[in-house]
Amino acid sequence: MDIVQRFLNYTKINTTTNRTAGAAGIMPSNPKEFELAGLIKGELEALGIKNISLSEKSILIAKIPSNLDAPAPRVAFFAHLDTSAEQTNDTKAQIVRYEGGDICLNKELEIYLKESENEELQDYKGDEIIVTDGTSLLGADDKAAIAAIVNALEFFVQNPQIKHGEIIACFVPDEEQGLLGAKALDVSEVGADFGYCLDCCGIGEFIYENWNAGDCVVTFKGQSAHPMNAKGKLVNSLLLAHKFISLLPAGEAPEYTEGKEGYFWVKELSGNSAKTVLKIDVREFDEKRYEQRMEFLQKTADGLRAIWGDRIEISLNDRYKNVYNFLKNDDAPAIRFAKQAFKSLNIEPKIKPMRGGYDGAVISAKGLPCPNLFTGGHNFHSIYEYLPVGSLKAASEVVKRIITLATKEA
């Protein structure tokens, strides 16, 4: 099947993640994710792939056995089934031939993808671009990845003369709400030596550094009293929370930082004078500095507890780790093969740290190193999301080339 048609077929299944269901522990949060997984499973079976499993949680794993006589690295490729909850409408994808200027997404609603706001569009003149009608996400995040991976599997099935080690594809649900699918994944069932997520943006992007991420929840317990006789009795938990916030380092917040600069993000403050809950996100690329940030929060709470007693409680938890913690160096096989693949395909690598997280962070922490490859899409989580056809095809070519490069080490 043509890779573009494959992608368009996937976009017709609305797999918007359901945050309410996800918070209740339901996986997949949207039954349509299981429907999409079933469609993929059927396609893989039609190719003749026999080793396929689909769990009730909508985790799909497919394996093509090695056709080598000698051992070779077992390589896995990951994508997620869900799309972000920013928009819930069904996707109505369309293909346009881009020759410059603005792209009209919806004439009736006067919605345009503007070149002035998306300067990278100039790189795609003469290419076909897949866009929405301006009323939904496109779903290239992450259905472009699914199409690229399945297309690569089809290539190796149809060309058995091309030697390769074991190839594994894994599709998980609910990445868009706390990487839930990756957290539910048993990596021993994947059985790979290393892997790649396809879950970042424009052609050439390659990510193998992301945040070390932590959650901090601080609870402040006040003492209620009527204001007419509150003197000496009222303890306002809201003001206790503000005192804690005032002790955070000035300038170390998302709105003041970029690149590899870490931060404390005061994300939520809720309550009343009797009880207040403060939630803080902790982010840092360097593992040691991340630990220092978490230690700072603990010591701050301990210091205030010495004054306030049990009116303050703190809970600190790791959310996900930096993938580079597990790759260790730039010569790790997963990094080396990707860079070689880019070079052999004349794709300029755009290596940059991700100020966020992705499934690979969780998968890497479970023992399967997993950097992040481009899908070719732009403007994820937006009605202006778009996917150049050439970039989609290039993503699949990178997958194929990595597999053949790994085979040479057999």
Tokens read off for 114:
């503007």
Is there a binding annotation on residue 133?
no
Same domain, 281 and 367: no
Secondary structure of residue 46 in the 3-state scheme:
helix
Where among 304, 319, 334 does a domain terminate? Answer: 319
Kindly name the residue from 175, 359, 385, 397 that is annotated as catalytic. 175
Do 319 and 216 contact (CB within 8 A), yes or no?
Answer: no
Q: What is the pLDDT of residues 210-226, one digit of tens each?
A: 999 999 999 999 998 87
Three-state SS across 297-317? HHHHHHHHHHHHHHHEEEEEE
C-alpha–C-alpha distance, residues 338 and 372, integer Å: 10
Residue 272 belongs to domain spanning = 212-319
Is 187 within 8 Å of 51 (Cβ atoms)? no
Kindly report whether the peptide bond that precedes residue 71 is cis, defined as omega within 30 degrees of 0.
no
To the query of whether residue 82 is one of the catalytic residues in this protein, the response is yes
**Whole-structure pTM value:** 0.91
158 and 216 in a common domain: no
Q: What would the two tokens of residue 111 be?
A: 């919605």
Amino acid at 106: N
Confidence of residue 142 (pLDDT cuts 50, 70, 90): very high
Residues 171, 28, single domain; the answer is yes
Among 319, 339, 357, the domain boundary falls at 319
Q: What are phi and psi of 363, to 5 degrees?
A: -65, -40
Asked if residue 133 and residue 79 are part of one domain, the reply reads yes
What tens digit of pLDDT does each residue of 29-82 get? 999 999 999 999 999 999 999 999 999 999 999 999 999 988 999 999 999 999
Give the bridge partners for 212, in sequence order: 284
Look up the CATH number of the domain holding residue 341: 3.40.630.10
Are residues 31 and 167 both part of a single domain? yes
Please give the pLDDT value at position 145.
Answer: 98
Is position 381 annotated in a ligand binding site? Answer: yes
> What total number of domains does the chain contain?
2
* Residue 236 banded pLDDT, cuts 50, 70, 90: very high
- Give the residue carrying structure tokens 């089809």: 154
Distance CA 347, CA 71 (A): 29
Alpha-carbon distances, residue 378 vs 142, 343, 375 (angstroms): 11, 22, 9
Which of 257, 285, 319 delimits the end of a domain? 319
Neighbours of 80 (CB within 10 A): 29
pLDDT band at 179, cuts 50/70/90?
A: very high
Helix (H, G, I), strand (E, B) or coil at 219: strand
pLDDT at 410 (0 to 100): 60
101: phi > 0 → left, psi -120 to 50 → alpha, else beta; which? left
Query: Do 195 and 75 share a structural domain?
Result: yes
Residue 313 is assigned to a ligand binding site? no
Active-site residue, from 82, 154, 193, 359: 82
Residues 335 and 312 in one domain: no
Residue 242 in marked binding region: no
Give me the chain's average pLDDT, please: 96
Residues 184 and 314 in one domain: no
CATH classification at residue 293: 3.30.70.360
Query: What are the DSSP E strand ranges found in 297-381?
Result: 312-320, 350-351, 372-374
Taking the C-alpha atoms of residue 294 and residue 280, their distance in angstroms, rounded to an integer, is 11
- 31, amino acid identity: P
What is the average per-residue pLDDT within 217-242?
90
357 shares its domain with 340:
yes
Task: Examine the domain organization and report whether 198 and 71 are in the same domain.
Answer: yes
Is 330 annotated in some ligand binding site?
no
Question: Where does residue 260 rank: exposed (0-12), middle (13-18), buried (19+ CB within 10 A)?
Answer: middle
In terms of domains, do 196 and 242 share one?
Answer: no
Say whether pLDDT at 317 is over 80.
yes
Co-location of 181 and 134 in the same domain: yes
Is residue 86 flagged as an active site residue? no
Contact present, 222 and 276 (Cβ < 8 Å): yes
